[in-house]
Amino acid sequence: MTFADESLQQMIPRPNTGHDDDRPFYELAERYLDDMMRLNPFVATYLGYHKYDPLMDDMSPAGIAAKLAFYDSAQRRFERIDRDTLSTGASIDLDLIRTDIEASLFSLRELRPHENDPQIYNDMIGYGTLYLTILEPGSPDWPARLRALLSRMRALPTFLEAARTNLRHPSRIITEFMIEQHRGNITFFETELPPLFEPYPDLKADLDRHLPRALEALREYQTWLEKDLLPHSVGDWRLGREHWTRKLHLMLQSDLSPEEIESRAWDRLHAERRAMLEVAEPMHARFFPHHRHDETGEERLNIIVGEVLDEVSKNHSHPDRVFEDCRQWVGKIKAFIRERDLISLPPDSDNFVIERTPAFLDGLAVAFFNPAPAFEPHLKKSYWISSIPRAGDPVEDARRVESYLREYNDYGLQNLSIHEAFPGHYVQFYYALSSPLASIYKKVFASNTFAEGWAVLCEEQMFEAGYSADEPAALLVHKKMGLRAPINAILDARLHTGNDPEETLDRWAIDLMRRYGFQEETEATAKLRRAKVSSAQLSTYFVGFQELLDLMNDYRKEKGSAFRLKEFNERLLSFGTIPPRAVRRLMLEA
């Protein structure tokens, strides 16, 4: 196979492996990547591959059929490749592509989100517009991006009509959540989009002509979600054991079985709770010298640790200061990393920002890290912080806000910033997207298991290195937040495979998070919703952490006295955001 389109080779750089058998594979892989993004143009835009920006995803029956036919054909082609003839790096790329194909076919044929998950339509609109508008002010690319945005805007009525035709009986909790989230897309078109066109009068005239129809379609869809889809949202949010196990395997790309994951998660949860008690007991004696507790075992642990956490959680931010405080903590964290030389940080001139979560995602999680596109690593990298949850009632609002601020107290915000930014997701993706060792496939088909595993692992590294060593409260809250990884995995498994009535599952889940995990009510309630509207993703934190921790320990044994944490970290991150088992091959077995 050869390329007729020479520009494609420039857009999808081919790894120079020096291995003759790799060439025909990469020729096939280049065409696959281009065709995949043509059929999924919002993904192409998200990745910074702008060849298909004017297109909107075709979610009609013919469009779904075209996707199935493409992935079926691709699967046959890539099955014919002998993996053993490839270099190690190319064989990992082959695994990534095969998994992408398999996961896409499983989703389209078995899970069928186009029929039962309105989130996919929300994301296609949200990401498909956001990633056309993250350019720097004054960039010469603005006119082309705005023309593409106009093209997608004109396609919105047809796209939303396909959504109304496809969606049948989603679960009620997902529809309720999308009723909230879709308002964010409307807000973008109403208020954020028009100012972008002001510097370009000709394009602004086109916007003025076509925006009213787009807004009408978006508002009609909002009404349809509320009045028509919600009453018919009687589906089960649970995947069931068979589908959940299959999705877990494809998402994690791990050799750990679901049973082993759950067993190790419980072991980690109990061990970390015991460690919390050791930290909390001397603090409890100082805070409450007259408290005497005769309880034993788990009951005593919960009381002692709970009382100390209640006290230290009083040190928290104010709703108007959360962003300012996060910036302050980031400065402290960066200084510590440099002092202890844990890893070389990106230059301060890199385009890193702390900003509010886009409205179409606001509320799914407390915070996100949004990396630069794989094909445009120079663009903005965003540490997103979501809105503080409110209820509309002044009394309930005050209670929710206080619960949120207690959960994300001064120490919790520091831990969150370590996870999302330094040296967590931001630093990890900076290395991945900048590394000459990482092929474009290792950047495009990013492993959530590796990303979340690294973010949890580096939290541990920071505190083991002595971060806030003079503040035992910081260590205690870090360990509390560290309980989330095993709890997330336990929640994910039980909720999506259990047969108990939903009310029973809800009580169990809230008890697990609040009693075992010491979570505030607002955090636990939001996490329960997140566990229901997603599946398998919550397992990535614990599985990724366990696999990377095992790898670090094995690497330490191999190196012996020559082991250096900084060298391990930088080498670990240099291969791209790929499954931990693939990193193991490159670090220990290649």
Domain membership of residue 398 (yes or no) is yes
Instruction: Read off the DSSP letter of residue 117.
Output: -
292 domain residue, yes or no: no
Question: 484-497 vs 241-252: helix axis angle to the nearest 10?
Answer: 140
pLDDT in tens, 59-99: 999 999 999 999 999 999 999 999 999 999 999 999 999 99
Q: Which of 321, 317, 287, 329 is nearest to 304 (CA)?
A: 287
Other beta carbons within 10 angstroms of residue 147's beta carbon come to 16
Helix axes 448-464, 410-420, angle to 10 degrees: 130
Please identify, among 209, 238, 267, the residue that sits at the C-terminal boundary of a domain. Answer: 238
Examine the domain organization and report whether 313 and 179 are in the same domain: no
- Tell me, yes or no, whether 144 lies in a domain: yes
For residue 356, report the phi and psi dihedrals to the nearest 5 degrees: -75, 145
Q: Which domain holds residue 88?
A: 6-238
Residue carrying structure tokens 């069928």: 112
Q: Is residue 252 part of a domain?
A: no
Would 281 be classed as within a structural domain? Answer: no
Q: Are residues 468 and 379 in the same domain?
A: yes
Provide the domain count of the chain. 2
Distance, in Å, from the CA atom of 475 to the CA atom of 478, rounded to the nearest integer, reads: 5
Q: Can you give the pLDDT of all 590 residues of the chain as single tens digits?
A: 333 454 566 778 788 888 999 999 999 999 999 999 999 999 999 999 999 999 999 999 999 999 999 999 999 999 999 999 999 999 999 999 999 999 999 999 999 999 999 999 999 999 999 999 999 999 999 999 999 999 999 999 999 999 999 999 999 999 999 999 999 999 999 999 999 999 999 999 999 999 999 999 999 999 999 999 999 999 999 999 999 999 999 999 999 999 999 999 999 999 999 999 999 999 999 999 999 888 999 999 999 999 999 999 999 999 999 999 999 999 999 999 999 999 999 999 999 999 999 999 998 899 999 999 999 999 999 999 999 988 778 889 999 999 999 999 999 999 999 999 999 999 999 999 999 999 999 999 999 999 999 999 999 999 999 999 999 999 999 999 999 999 999 999 999 999 999 999 999 999 999 999 999 999 999 999 999 999 999 999 999 999 999 999 999 999 999 999 999 999 999 999 999 999 999 999 75
Whether 523 and 403 have beta carbons less than 8 Å apart is answered as: yes
- Of the three residues 205, 238, 271, the one that is the final residue of a domain is 238
Beta bridge partners of 550: none
* Statement to judge: residues 313 and 410 lie in one domain: yes
Is the residue at 493 inside a domain? yes
pTM of the model: 0.96
Q: What is d(CA 469, CA 88) in angstroms, rounded to the nearest whole number? A: 42
Distance between CA atoms of residues 59 and 74, nearest Å: 20
Helix (H, G, I), strand (E, B) or coil at 305: helix
**569 in the same domain as 482:** yes
Task: Please state, in angstroms and rounded to a whole number, the distance separating the CA atoms of residues 459 and 465.
Answer: 10
Strand, coil or helix: 537:
helix
CA-to-CA distance for 116 and 169, rounded, in angstroms? 6
Q: Where are the alpha helices (DSSP H) in 467-539?
A: 472-482, 484-497, 502-511, 521-533
Report if residue 361 sits inside a domain.
Answer: yes
Rounded Cα distance between 113 and 495, Å, is: 19
**Gap between the Cα atoms of 590 and 583, Å rounded:** 10
Residues 223 and 358 in one domain: no
Q: Clarify whether residues 368 and 468 are in a common domain.
A: yes
Q: 461 lies in a domain? A: yes
